[in-house]
Amino acid sequence: MENVTREVKDIDIIEDLLRSARVCRIAVNHGGSPYIIPMCFGYTLTGGKLELYFRFKINGEKASVFKSGAEAAFEIDELTDVKKSDGGFGFDISYGSIVGKGPIEFVNGVDKLTGLSLILSKYLGKDNDGKLSEQALNSYVMLKITADEFCCKIRSPEQESKENL
């Protein structure tokens, strides 16, 4: 079988994956050891730059793990299908994934409101009235990771079969 390139550069396809994926995993160095945290996220994707927003409680453990200015890696994925097959391990999977890295930044003011709004819109959609109490706003920390470079890959066994004909 030929080597099939799975990397995707089409912004519309990347945007579809970002819209449908539910979890982003963030990896950081914490006390000399790797530490990975799955989190809900909001995002903007403009001009090839991906900005990811995450929120967490001020007094939670995550607040001690993240350091402003530190580098973080992230991974977003979506398993879209698993089918039995005759080759390999006896099954084929279809998925989409995005991996990248960027500096951690804690944001406040308009950026914090933007991040919270993006997260609420992603998970609540039309049910999001956009209203947050001041108490709710003040109880969360907003983290932003800006990735100037990231890689998106999509795997579909059906597509790969067509490309290998």
Q: What is the pLDDT of residues 13-26, one digit of tens each?
A: 999 999 999 999 99
Structural domain includes residue 2: no
pLDDT score at 151: 96
CATH code of the domain containing 60: 2.30.110.10
Structural domain includes residue 77: yes
pLDDT tens-digit series, residues 40-94 = 999 999 988 999 999 988 777 777 788 888 899 999 999 888 888 777 778 888 8
This prediction has a pTM of 0.86
- In the predicted model, is pLDDT for residue 98 greater than 90? yes
Structural domain includes residue 1: no
Structural domain includes residue 145: yes
Alpha helices in 72-141 (DSSP H): 109-124, 134-138
pLDDT score at 161: 52
Number of structural domains the chain divides into = 1
Residue corresponding to tokens 């579809």: 16
Structural domain includes residue 34: yes
Q: How far apart are CA 8 and CA 16, in angstroms?
A: 12
pLDDT score at 66: 86
Residue ranges making up the domain that contains 159: 7-163
**Is residue 101 very low, low, confident or very high in pLDDT (cuts 50, 70, 90)?**
very high
Structural domain includes residue 93: yes
Residue 160 has a CB neighbour count (10 Å cut-off) of 15
Structural domain includes residue 15: yes
